[in-house]
Amino acid sequence: MSIDKAINYDDLRRLAKRRLPQIAFDFIEGGADDEIGLDRNQQAFRDVALVPRYMRNIDGINQKTELFGRTYDHPFGISPTGLVGLFRHGGDLMLASAARDANIPFVMSGSANCTVEDVGKTAPDHGWFQLYAARDNKISEDMIRRAEAAGLSTLVLTVDVPVHSNRERNARNGFTRPLKMTMETRLDAMSHPGWLLDYLKNGMPVISNWLPYAKNGANADDVANLVSEQVTAPLTWDNVARYREIWPRNLVLKGIMHVDDAIKAAELGVDGIVVSNHGARQLDRSPGSLEVLPDIVAAVGDRMTVMLDSGVQRGSDIVTALCLGAKFVFTGRFTLYGVSAAAKPGADKALDIIGREVELIMAQMGAPDIASLGDEFIYKPQPRNY
Ligand SMILES: Cc1cc2nc3c(=O)[nH]c(=O)nc-3n(C[C@H](O)[C@H](O)[C@H](O)COP(=O)(O)O)c2cc1C
């Protein structure tokens, strides 16, 4: 199948799987521990039924969404994903330009293979920056300063990586630093020549935003080691207060799952949160992000912007989250599979698929615009007295 023929998430996933060696594909697809969370995220969406309303005027469905004072063309954006350059050389900026062209936000990962300056140039109106707080505060604060100078509108602090999680696929595949090229890995790579040529030509991609903090002449492994040592910093609310002080634009916490943490964030003047379990890559026994969304919205929805990611594989997932109170929804693997499979056209294709699916579901439900999505459409089963 070619990228033109892809019609859904699963097609993009299959195309990415075909192009990537297992060691890379598993890094994208995998979760933590027993990977229970992957199913749970999806099941949470499937457990919600949407009740359609008919005989409403649905001519010209409008997905435009206001977020932090900017109007985007869709209610969804691209979640930060690290190491994109390993799946597709230059992939970060392909995602950034796909987001720019679709007029949606692109969140650059704290372990991206590009810099905040690159994103500022490629997608000045659409780039956000996700920060992994560093053990050395000077590094975090310098990155924040650079993101501001590069013109990025929103700082997303990821809070759900207190330690590196247990990803057993990576351990088995030798996805370690440096990459363990076993005989099996090499043979597998050889059967994925498109990816292999890219890798041999360009080598292991550097987590380039961190390059200025590494020793002179550092290679990709040196920088990756530095990031690994630095990013499991003991992050506390004091850091959040400090970042609030020094970052003048929108501040978002990503990875909030508990109502009390959401309340605390609101109290500290944070502008928004992404309710997220990191796509089931951190705490495997966490609830699905959709499961905790309604209580969080009830607690802080009038004080801050509540967004969501984790497990989105259909336009109906996005619409469901919006009906349950999310103001915006992000997706990680969807666009990552697209760009891995077919570069920028693959990322465009992913966004096109999601946009069309959202439109179709809204039309089927009788919801002409984003503002009309809400609790009205959520099926609430009543006890039956037969
Ligand atoms: C390959 C990969 C790399 C990721 N890297 C990061 C990262 O650098 N920073 C971060 O905050 N989240 C990261 N995430 C989590 C995503 O931002 C997002 O929360 C998750 O992918 C959402 O779930 P979904 O993939 O089911 O849409 C990563 C996810 C994947 C799949």
Residue closest via CA to ligand 1's atom 31 equals 28
For the record, the structure tokens of 33 come out as 């521990």
**According to the model, what pLDDT value does residue 183 have?**
87
The reply to whether ligand 1 has any atom less than 6 angstroms from the CB of 331 is: yes
pLDDT (mean) for 191-219: 96
| pLDDT (0 to 100) of residue 196 | 95
The residue annotated as part of the active site, out of 89, 126, 192, 278, is 278
For residue 311 and ligand 1, the question of a CB distance below 6 A is answered with: yes
Ligand 1 centre to CA of 8 (Å) is 19
What is the rounded CA–CA span in Å between residue 359 and residue 376? 18
Q: What letter represents residue 314's amino acid?
A: R
Rounded average pLDDT over 346-373: 98
> Ligand 1 pocket, 77 CB below 6 A?
no
DSSP string across 193-226: HHHHHHHHHH-SPP-GGGGGGSPTT--HHHHHHH
Provide the 10 A C-beta neighbour count for residue 374. Answer: 12
The packing angle between helices 36-46 and 315-323, to 10°, is: 70
The fraction of the chain above a pLDDT of 90, given in percent, is: 94
State the average pLDDT over residues 136-159: 98
Residue 182: which pLDDT band, with cuts at 50, 70 and 90? confident
Task: Return the pLDDT at 235.
Answer: 94
CATH superfamily ID and name for 3-204+234-377: Aldolase class I (3.20.20.70)
pLDDT at 384 over 90: no
State both tokens at 142.
Answer: 């310098």
Residue ranges in the chain assigned as alpha helix (H): 9-19, 22-29, 36-46, 84-87, 91-102, 116-122, 137-149, 168-173, 183-190, 193-202, 220-231, 237-246, 259-267, 289-300, 315-323, 333-365
Does ligand 1 come within 6 angstroms of the Cβ of 111? yes
Hey, whose CA ends up nearest to atom 1 of ligand 1? Answer: 28
Nearest residue (by CA) to ligand 1, atom 28, is: 81
User: Given this model, what pLDDT does residue 135 score?
Assistant: 95
User: What's the whole-number average pLDDT of the chain?
Assistant: 96
Q: Quote the pLDDT of residue 176.
A: 79
Task: Supply the pTM of this predicted model.
Answer: 0.98
Residue 126: active-site member: no
pLDDT grade, residue 386 (50/70/90)? confident
Mapped onto helix, strand or coil, the DSSP state of residue 256 is strand
The CB of 158 under 6 Å from ligand 1? The reply is yes
pLDDT digits (tens, 9 = 90+) for 30-66: 999 999 999 999 999 999 999 999 999 999 999 999 9
Distance 278 CA to ligand 1 centre (A): 5
Q: How far apart are the C-alpha atoms of 198 and 192, rounded to whole Å? A: 10
DSSP-derived letter for residue 146 is H
**Closest atom, ligand 1, to C-alpha of 80:** 17
pLDDT on residue 323: 98
Q: Quick one: pLDDT at residue 339?
A: 98
- The CA distance from 147 to 130, in Å, is 10
> Which of 293, 282, 284, 232 is closest to 258 using CA atoms?
293
Q: Residue whose CA is closest, atom 14 of ligand 1? A: 81
Question: pLDDT higher for 182 or 309?
Answer: 309
φ and ψ at residue 236, rounded to 5 degrees = -130, 175
Write out pLDDT tens, residues 215-234.
999 999 999 999 999 998 88
Q: Of 257, 281, 283, 290, which is best to mutate to test ligand 1, by the most ligand atoms within 8 angstroms of its C-beta?
A: 281
Quick check: 352 pLDDT over 90? Answer: yes
Pocket test for ligand 1, best of 25, 45, 46, 79 (most atoms within 8 A of CB): 79
Asked whether the predicted pLDDT for residue 8 surpasses 80, the reply is yes
| Ligand 1: centre distance to CA 81 (Å) | 5
Q: Is 278 in the pocket of ligand 1 (CB under 6 A)?
A: yes
How confident is residue 130, by pLDDT bands cut at 50, 70 and 90? very high
CA of residue 336 to ligand 1 center, whole Å: 9
Q: What is the pLDDT of residue 254?
A: 98
Q: What is the pLDDT of residue 180?
A: 74
